[in-house]
Amino acid sequence: MKKEFQMVATAAAGLEALVGRELRDLGMECQVENGKVHFQGKQEELMKANLWLRTADRVKLVLGQFPAKTFEELYQGVFAIDWQDYLPLGVQFPVSKARCVRSKLHNEPSVQAITKKAVVRKMQKVYARPDGVPLPESGPVFSIEVSIRKDQVTIMLDTSGDSLFKRGYRTDKGGAPLKENMAAALVNLSNWFPDKPLLDPTCGSGTIVIEAAMKALNIAPGLRRSFAFESWPWIDQELWRQLKETALAAQQDDVELSIMASDIDGRMVELARENAKRAGVLSYITFKQMRLQDFQTNLINGVVISNPPYGERLMDDEGVSRLYQEMGETFAPLRTWSKFILTSDGQFEEKYGSLADKKRKLYNGTLRVDYYQYYGERVRRSDSGSQA
Ligand SMILES: C[S@@+](CC[C@H](N)C(=O)[O-])C[C@H]1O[C@@H](n2cnc3c(N)ncnc32)[C@H](O)[C@@H]1O
């Protein structure tokens, strides 16, 4: 079986650089591209990327890349891959995804079918199975993916299984939750550090504050879930056990955090609490049922990260306008606090009452959103007692 792998960590548009930074922090060289980050490594890197990446979607092995404008070229390119280096006899190997962009080959179901046929034929050849007799497919799953972009084919194997945003701590999601990797990205894109107060005043199911606490406590995001690669016969189970054990030992519990989360809806606060409990961070977050308009504090140098209702699903336009205006009025006195607000509302700044220092274009699923960033005035702790 293969020892060295070409890999990609996929990411939502706008988050690739964050994934690249995370990989480098894990000690891996990488190259950032649109929607993905390329890196190389052995089983250890494959495992670590799945276990530790907070902002990525998935980790995939890249098995082959070649040009193809016809089905024959696609077939030959797929057949040429050393499938026996990855797929033992008896495993399931669905071609679960095909994506064709600006290419001669654009019929995705046909691309899937041809790819499957080429893999089957190659497996029959290398494992000396007669043509026409179906290969046994009942064991672990190796999901094959085909991407064709401008006639360049990339053949990949998904190692993650469920997308990496599924950490396993959130069961009931409530209203309009952020994906966990998006919430982690909002934290990474903010200027919050664990020594500063953090508030999410529209916490919903609690994703932002839970991700912040997990990061501060160095809790590996993948510790509570399983991955597709775990069932693969050639995976070094002892190495995987050691990496999880190391991750568990690296968790910190003696960090003092000042993290607050509130929501107008008491049921959401309860749900957020349950999620935080499952994530192992409940005792680090203060949850409260509260209107954001009622927030007051004497703390300084804090950070607000909020994903308020946008209007699309949760609130009418008038309600949203009023909420944003009241948000601006409530936060204005918090001079030393930075505010980071994610919304799809193009008129947010007008309604909020001030122009953002910086705006970052992101996608919440398929919805185009902006991350409005207002930086707090810098004040040394000794210079100021109370404010607000
Ligand atoms: C888009 S959801 C937040 C989702 C959250 N980020 C998550 O991942 O689950 C917006 C939340 O704002 C809350 N909300 C609406 N008006 C509010 C107000 N005036 N004060 C506090 N929370 C409010 C809603 O109850 C809802 O839970």
- 388 residues of the chain, pLDDT tens digit each: 788 999 999 999 999 999 999 999 999 999 999 999 999 999 999 999 999 999 999 999 999 999 999 999 999 999 999 999 999 999 999 999 999 999 999 999 999 999 999 999 999 999 998 887 888 999 899 999 999 999 999 999 999 999 999 999 987 666 678 999 999 999 999 999 999 999 999 999 999 999 999 999 999 999 999 999 999 999 999 999 999 999 999 999 999 999 999 999 999 999 999 999 999 999 999 999 999 999 999 999 999 999 999 865 556 788 899 999 999 999 999 999 999 999 999 999 999 999 999 999 999 988 999 999 999 998 765 655 444 3
Return the residue whose CA atom lies nearest to atom 12 of ligand 1.
Answer: 202
Atom from ligand 1 closest to the CA of residue 272: 9
For residue 175, report the distance from its CA to the centre of ligand 1, in Å. 8
Ligand 1 neighbour 306 (Cβ under 6 A): no
Return the residue whose CA atom lies nearest to atom 7 of ligand 1.
Answer: 177
pTM: 0.94
- Phi then psi dihedrals of residue 381, to 5 deg: -55, -35
For residue 259, report the distance from its CA to the centre of ligand 1, in Å. 17
Atom from ligand 1 closest to the CA of residue 291: 20
Residue 174 has a pLDDT of 61
For residue 308, report the distance from its CA to the centre of ligand 1, in Å. 5
Return the residue whose CA atom lies nearest to atom 19 of ligand 1.
Answer: 291
Ligand 1 neighbour 311 (Cβ under 6 A): no
Atom from ligand 1 closest to the CA of residue 308: 10
Ligand 1 neighbour 2 (Cβ under 6 A): no
Atom from ligand 1 closest to the CA of residue 306: 6
Residue 144 has a pLDDT of 98
For residue 280, report the distance from its CA to the centre of ligand 1, in Å. 22
